[in-house]
Amino acid sequence: ADDTLRKDIMRFRTPSGADLTTRNDPYLAWQRAREQAGLWPYFRSYATPLTPHATAVSDTGVTTAGPNFGGQDYLSLTGHPEILEAAHKALYTYGPLTAGSPALGGGNPLSKALEAGLAEALRTDHVMLFPTGWASGFGTIRALMHKGDHILLDKLSHDSLRQGAAASGATVEFFRHLDNEAVRRHLAKIRATDTARAVLVVTEGVFSMDSDTPDLAELLALCREFGAQLLVDVAHDFGAMGERGGGQLEAHGILGEVDFVVGAFSKTFASTGGFLATRSSSAREYVRMFGGPQTFSSAITPVQTAVALAALSVVTSEEGARRRTAVRANAVRLRDGLTGRGLEVMGDVVCPVVPVLIGDTATGRTASGLIARAGLIAHLVEQPAVASDAARFRLQVMAEHTAGDIDAAVGILDACIGEARRR
């Protein structure tokens, strides 16, 4: 078990051997050993809705019933009566299926209304939907950028953004997390020799593994100074943060000014799917036609669309503002509670994501097994999602968590992390 605890998952990323049906056997043996040691936190499924108290069942049949800090329903909208009603109506009005990709009949009146609503909320003119949040980042970057262009990504950018950059054929460079001075140096260097090609700077509104945010206004000004464009992924902050729900772009006073905004409905918007919002009508039309995952994949269904649309209407209402206040208060209580017990809470932004740093991956795995048995639903994040010495629990608060839920989570985390460190 000790070996299982310590082995690095990354070594399995480059398997060798000529037979594709057997060369991953060592990986499977390692996973099975982790399962047997009760240290396999992945592929859990929920047996209930994503309410503040929920039941999750692990791949190996371990049931955890209790406070749920592992969902992304930040404003607690998945059980909202108006949203469920909208889903029901859409199902019976348009049926469960779309005709195919948006290019070939995949749209319906709800998708048009959702695009218009997002355009208004983000103060931008041109919005298009994608089948997932992942597809929106990937598809936008892959479609817009070409060989000879330059992409500068924050080093901790989400997989969808990195993959889109890699697939585009453009020259890709990474800059130090949140470091605008590093961006300036990169931009100056590129523009010293190349003024002919496009440069896209890529970052996120809130980094959901770290709970931190770039100085977005300064970054946008830098892009303007060097004739570069900015893309921000607002998957975690749009709807959940900002006075009117405009996320970090609103908080930084640049709503409607960023060139490309991509996001997801899979957090605050209680659905699945994603979007691109842009100032440029030609970029939007080009991505609509050449944006891979949206051109060649079926559109989100009427139910998903109706849920996102109804959620957007809550997000932009007074009720949405009240829910954001609640989620903020819960995030503060959780942060303070954990820090009060001597645990290290990462990041400096009060947002629904509260990461608790463990460090050593093996300790994180042990703690994760103990926490699941103690009745708290909380996800361990380890490599390759984060560095091997930076394992953490990513807790996600919801508007409808009570003070009691939060205090219970703090107590369980404190006890289980302490126990894991002693072992």
- Under the rule (CB under 6 A), what is the footprint of ligand PMP? 132-134, 137, 158, 160, 204, 208, 233, 235-236, 264, 266, 272, 274
Smaller CB separation from ligand PMP, 160 or 268: 160
Smaller CB separation from ligand PMP, 115 or 233: 233
Nearest one of 252, 238, 164 to 202, comparing CA atoms:
164
The DSSP code for 7 is -
Smaller CB separation from ligand PMP, 230 or 417: 230
Kindly state the smallest distance separating residue 84's Cβ from ligand PMP, in Å. 20
* Residue facing ligand PMP at closest CB distance: 133
Kindly state the smallest distance separating residue 316's Cβ from ligand PMP, in Å. 20
Nearest one of 72, 75, 53, 51 to 310, comparing CA atoms:
75
Query: Locate tokens 């649309």: which residue?
Result: 309
Q: Which amino acid is at 238?
A: F
Kindly state the smallest distance separating residue 308's Cβ from ligand PMP, in Å. 11
| CA distance linking residue 81 with residue 56, whole number of Å | 23
- Torsion of Cα atoms, 276 then 396 then 398 then 204, to 10°: -20
Smaller CB separation from ligand PMP, 204 or 259: 204
Kindly state the smallest distance separating residue 381's Cβ from ligand PMP, in Å. 11
Smaller CB separation from ligand PMP, 168 or 266: 266
Strands lying side by side in the sheet with 274-278: 126-130, 274-278, 260-264, 229-233, 199-204, 150-154, 171-175
Smaller CB separation from ligand PMP, 75 or 362: 75
Question: Which residues, in sequence order, are bridge partners of residue 392?
Answer: 357, 381
| CA distance linking residue 397 with residue 64, whole number of Å | 18
Kindly state the smallest distance separating residue 270's Cβ from ligand PMP, in Å. 12
Three-state DSSP class for 14? coil
Kindly state the smallest distance separating residue 267's Cβ from ligand PMP, in Å. 7
| CA distance linking residue 5 with residue 8, whole number of Å | 9
